[in-house]
Structure 1
Amino acid sequence: MRLGIKMGLAMLALVCGAAAARAADGQPLIVYTENYPPFNYAKPDGSVAGLATDRVRQVLDAAGLQYEIKIVPWARAMNYARTRPDALIYTITRTPRREYGFDWLVLLAESNFHIFARAEETRPVTRENLEAGMFTASCVSGDLTCELLVWAGVPVANIIPIAKEGTGDFRMVLAGRADLYISDFSVNRRLRKAEGYSLDLTKPVMRLDSRAGFYLASGLNVPADIRARIKASYEQLKASGDYQLVSNEQQADGGQWEATLPDQGHWPDG
């Protein structure tokens, strides 16, 4: 048993060592993301496009790095980013819980999270009322919004996580089975439009005072010189005025994309 464990650890060390060597000797980095239009999505020809993808390519090209972008399920992307020394990830949301587990290389877009309720809701949505358990809230299990609800003050017992992916939390509120859900303001507009729902069905009732944004990030196993090179490229592009964040207007309009709604919930589990 011990021999098997030692052999497994040795194999893991060889794989990680090989990946580190690839990143260090100019071999391509692997940049992982999910299908999350308009930020990142697969085109019919198999290439990866999107508003955030354009920024990632801009920074990595300016840094002179070789890379390959792959769309995979979000849980797999997160695992690779945490464990592989040649892996980057986007569009990942920066939160207090994961602050020290990643290196936040490039800010791609600001986030503007709000708590939403049904249009007819009249009770005041305040942190005090949230903490008192006045409201129930829904989120997709494992999604960033579940963490944000707790951060906003909703008791865990009042949060209804659902296994259904996509926009099930909005539908729970619409059906009256929960009072609240969380969404980025611009993304909420885009999702409702894409699904054929009127924006008047729900309303934003509280803006979260959060500095979470959407990023290109790496795990701490990526060589420090590679991370520094990416950050330097980003700072130089900003200083020259050539780099612009994805705007709220672009997020709301959705850009020009031919893809379905994301399969991993509203947010890159971030």
Structure 2
Amino acid sequence: MKTLILGLAVAFAQPVHAAEIKFVTEEYAPFNYSEGGALKGIAVDQVHTIAKRAGLDYSIEIMPWARAFALAQTQPDHCVFTTGHSKDRDASFLWVEPLLKDEMVMVKRKDSPVAASTVEEARKLRVGSQRGDFAVDILTEHGFRDIDLAANIEITLGKLVSGRIDLMPTSIKTFQMMVKDGKPVEKAMLMDGQIYGIACNRSTPPEVVTKLQAALDDLIVEGTQDRIFASYGLPPNTRTAANEE
């Protein structure tokens, strides 16, 4: 995939925080991706909405995940999304969530003879993911070693389709979009369910995080989050991924 660096800054009249909040993310449809020179996705749309409602000066920039994650870890006023919330990551950030609740699915090339219905079976195969991706944390927790790492999901997908790897983990919603887009993939097995959100640098003013969380809570209660999902042809965020194909 061609890496795109795309920035979008939007200013509002009465900011609650003088400094611009820099939201950073990666190309990872259907959550965050660029199309026709614009950023879109179920997470991007939510971030735009809650940042506006919180009265923030903000920007959204897309870049490789490893860089985005590192910026949020080390630079003030930076927040990274769509970020899986794990125990290992919990204390490293201030969190605004959930942008979505999802499950990981292990994907194989369509019609591949590879069979993996358990983690034990999958560990014996060639598995690939993205450098710094939450999926790598999950794989490591499950005892996977020698994971084939790529810069982004499109490269990992290319390796899967070409037979260079046997399996790749991704969110079930991303898998659904792959199928919708005609990618030659099919589900091998389900893995862990996770909550994904916005992870902000720990120096971010608490009032900023509080206002973002309140705006997201309202978004969920009023049904706007589910409407955003529906606008991308996805089921409501409240539906369990285990029931989705």
Question: If the length of structure 1 is used for normalisation, what is the TM-score?
Answer: 0.66
Deviation at 1:95, TM superposition (A): 3.0
Q: If you compute each CA radius of gyration, which structure gives the higher value, 1 or 2?
A: 1
For residue 82 of structure 1, report the CA deviation from its aligned partner. Answer: 1.6
Deviation at 1:163, TM superposition (A): 4.1
TM superposition shift of 1:176: 4.1
1:181 maps onto 2:168 in alignment: yes
- Counterpart AA for 1:135: L
Shift in Å at residue 67 of structure 1? 1.9
Q: Tell whether the 8 Å contact from 1:105 to 1:230 is kept in structure 2 after alignment.
A: yes
Query: Match for residue 186 of structure 2?
Result: 203
Alignment of 1:207-246 (within 5 A): 207-213=190-196, 215-244=197-226
Contact kept? 2:24, 2:63, Cα under 8 Å: yes
- Tell me the secondary structure at the aligned position of residue 214 of structure 2: helix
Point out where structure 1 has 5 or more consecutive residues left out of the alignment.
Answer: 1-22, 254-270
In structure 2, distance between residues paired with 1:69 and 1:26: 17
SS in 1 for 2:187: strand
Check conservation: 1:138, 1:162, Cα contact below 8 A: yes
Aligned 8 A contact 1:114 1:207 in 2: yes
The answer for the alignment partner of 1:256 in structure 2 is none
Percent identity, aligned pairs only, is 25
- 2:49 matched to which residue of 1? 58
Paired letter, 2:167: L
1:31 is aligned, of 2, 23, 27, to 23
Residues 11-37 of structure 1, C-alpha deviations (whole Å, 9 max, x = no match)? xxxxxxxxxxxx875343222223444
* Structure-2 change in CA distance of 1:251 and 1:75 (3 Å): farther
Q: Which amino acid aligns with 2:201?
A: G
Structure 1 CA distance for aligned equivalents of residues 65 and 180 of structure 2: 24
Which residue, out of 94, 107, 111, partners 2:98? 107
**Which residue of structure 2 aligns with residue 127 of structure 1?**
119
1:55-80 deviations in whole A, cap 9, x for unaligned? 11221222222222233443332232
* Residues 227 and 167 of structure 1: CA distance in aligned 2, closer, same or farther (over 3 Å): same
Amino acid at match of 1:61: K
Gaps of at least 5 residues in structure 2 are 1-14, 236-245
- Corresponding letter in the other structure for 1:216: I
Q: Distance in 2 between matches of 1:122 and 1:75?
A: 30
Conserved 8 A contact 1:152-1:208:
no
- The 3-state SS of whatever aligns with 2:226 is coil
Change (3 A) 1:152 1:210: farther
Q: Do the aligned partners of 1:109 and 1:245 also contact (CA within 8 Å) in 2?
A: no
| Residue equivalent to 2:126 | 136
Q: Of Structure 1 and Structure 2, which has the larger fraction of its residues in strand?
A: 2
| CA deviation after TM superposition for structure 1 residue 178, in Å | 3.4
Change (3 A) 1:182 1:61: same
Question: Per chain length, whose mean CA-contact separation is higher, i.e. which structure has more relative contact order (CA < 8 Å, sep 6+)?
Answer: 1
- 1:104 and 1:251, CA in 2 relative to 1: closer, same or farther beyond 3 A? farther
Contact persistence 2:27–2:152 (CA under 8 A): no
Residue 87 of structure 2 is aligned to residue 87 of structure 1: no
Cα 1:249–1:121 shift into 2, 3 Å: farther
| Partner Cα separation in structure 2 for residue 91 and residue 124 of structure 1 | 27
Query: Could you report, residue by residue, the CA deviation over 1:121-149 in whole angstroms, capped at 9, with x for unpaired residues?
Result: 3645323444xx53332234443333332
Structure with greater proportional helix content: 1
Secondary structure (helix, strand or coil) at the match of 2:193 reads: coil
Separation in 2 of the partners of 1:104 and 1:72?
20
Identify the residue that residue 190 of structure 1 maps to in structure 2: 177
- What CA distance in whole angstroms lies between the structure 2 residues aligned with 1:185 and 1:228? 29
